[in-house]
Structure 1
């Protein structure tokens, strides 16, 4: 599969661009996660979260195992960040087509790919998962997101695009957040949750309850839906984020600076109200017809 040389179509999303350009995001991701932008995977009950890097690679291994694709398969990394996940997939013998809407992410990912000597296995291009028109229909063996679909402004359209570019029988894997707010949830939790979704540009996160993604996937036309909750496996890193952010958060709240330090707010929300959050690993397939061809995507109304 080859990407088009034309200028990619990118939805205007200044809040998302500002979020990733903020000093807090750039320093925080670098110092704590080495530039990676996802949770690590731990055994439940773990209290000592270090070394974080090993937990991050274990999460990427879990993604690879969930994809369950043979060596040489071609996959789309939809929201690749600095390319760490794509590089890990390539080390596991997958070919990766990586896209991201942030120009700085794309530039850094290309540097990281070159440094890893994986230019033949990974292609990095600026692109928006809302607009996959340049990717041929039925050209990919797999697609994955790693904590990026929450940024979608139209998740239904994104999933329809994923279905189109997958080959019949192809695999989509989503590692994404969900939430569950009981009727007696503290009012403060709802307010903080709204701030995180607004300032971190996660509009889809506001609608992702535990069954929401599954329902949308079914409506779009995916089949063989498998859901695995691994919330307890990410809890140690959520606790570490909470401990690091707690004192700064007190000053952030005191001076009303949530918009400028939203990652610290998110760290408090994720752990203080941990029982209201879910981390889901969802694997689905593109169906085949009797003659081996794929069904047309369903338009979600």
Structure 2
């Protein structure tokens, strides 16, 4: 077998790679979120957002609670970034198979896992949630995503793949975004389109209202539960808005939105907070599945 045969299948997505390679993304995530790539969890009504690291771990704790799996369970981290969520899950006695499409993230995550002393509990490799052919059918106790499905080019195929690799009774947990269509707000619509295009989030444009929930149900999952964490992420969204406000004025003046999409996202996220939702979705693969379980290939 050649190295070509064993190389993981990765969808060509230059927009996504460009987004994560941008100087704004690399510096911003590092300076503000310590390399983490998800929102923090705060009690509703919180104004002071510091320390951010505590809120980030709080959000990861909520994800662990939603998984609701016993110690020793094997879970998939689909889009692990620098590995911080996987490290948290492993520190709670879960076995984590983590992957990411960006090679730089994989290298950093592997180093972070070693530094945490959890290399026996976490494996990190390069992979794509559109291509789970390397995972045996019904081999995992849980699958989770943390703000990554928004980048999918075929969310339905991704969820079908999650369904196949989960054992009957296994848990799917997704912390993801949703929105309502801005009405009589052309500026909101324009900014929202920019964010989805420049941050390579085609699925985010599709996740209107309960669209993601419908996809989860169509994939065959049952016992679907939703917790709305929108108010819990508001303090961090407010901080992003404050930090981005003046730079955004300059960026807009010179038409640089494509190069500073996170700054644009900070503005649209808080200025039009009422149209956004942050959802924690938990679903179960039924013990008697009536769906085909052979892996599907995505072009």
Into which bin does the TM-score normalised by the smaller protein fall? over 0.9
CA–CA distance in structure 1, aligned partners of residues 292 and 119 of structure 2: 33
Match of residue 45 from structure 2 = 45
| Cross-structure match for 1:268 | 267
Is the CA contact 1:94–1:121 (under 8 Å) kept in the aligned structure 2?
yes
Deviation, structure 1 residue 296: 1.9
Give the 5 Å matches for 1:134-145. 134-145=134-145
Instruction: Provide Cα deviations, 1:165-186, integer angstroms capped at 9, x if missing partner.
Output: 00001000010000012433x1
Q: Is 1:284 equivalent to 2:283 in the alignment?
A: yes
- Provide the residue aligned with 2:78 in structure 1: 78
Aligned mates of 2:6, 2:82 — CA distance in 1: 22
Q: How far apart, in 2, do the equivalents of 1:58 and 1:210 lie?
A: 25
1:260-291 alpha-carbon deviations (Å, 9 max, x no partner): 000000000000000000000000000112xx
Mapped partners of 1:297, 1:107: distance in 2? 35
Give how far 1:46 is off: 0.3
Structure 1 residues 295 and 218 mapped into 2: Cα distance closer, same or farther (>3 Å)?
same
SS at match of 1:178: strand
Give the equivalent residue in structure 2 for 1:169: 169
Match of 1:103 in 2: 103
**Is residue 76–residue 96 contact of structure 1 (8 Å, CA) maintained in 2?**
yes
C-alpha contact (below 8 Å) 2:182/2:189 kept by paired residues: no
Q: State the Cα distance separating 1:295 from its structure 2 match.
A: 3.0
How many residues were matched structurally? 291
Q: Residue 153 in 1 paired to residue 148 in 2?
A: no
Unaligned runs of 5+ in 2: none
Give deviations 1:217-249, integer Å, cap 9, x for gaps.
111111000011110000000000000010000
SS of structure 2 residue aligned to 1:132: coil
Residue 218 of structure 2 corresponds to 219
Q: Aligned-pair distance for 1:297?
A: 4.5
- Structural mapping, 1:1-301, within 5 Å: 6-184=6-184, 186-289=185-288, 294-297=289-292
Contact 1:230 1:280 in 2 (8 A): yes
CA deviation vs aligned residue, 1:41-88 (integer Å, no higher than 9, x gap): 000000000000000000000000011000100000000000000000
Report Cα offsets for 1:114-157 as digits up to 9, x if no partner: 00010100000000000000000000000000000000000000
Q: Is the 8 A contact 1:221 1:297 kept in 2?
A: no
| 8 Å CA contact retained: 2:150, 2:203 | yes
Question: CA–CA distance in 2 between the matches of 1:123 and 1:251?
Answer: 43
Aligned-CA RMSD value? 1.3
CA contact 1:49–1:240 (8 Å) conserved in 2: yes
Hey, what's the Cα distance between the residues in 1 that align with 2:233 and 2:209?
16
CA contact 1:160–1:297 (8 Å) conserved in 2 = no
State the TM-score, normalized to the length of structure 1: 0.95
Contact 1:147 1:177 in 2 (8 A): yes
Contact in 2 for aligned 1:79/1:129 (Cα 8 Å): yes
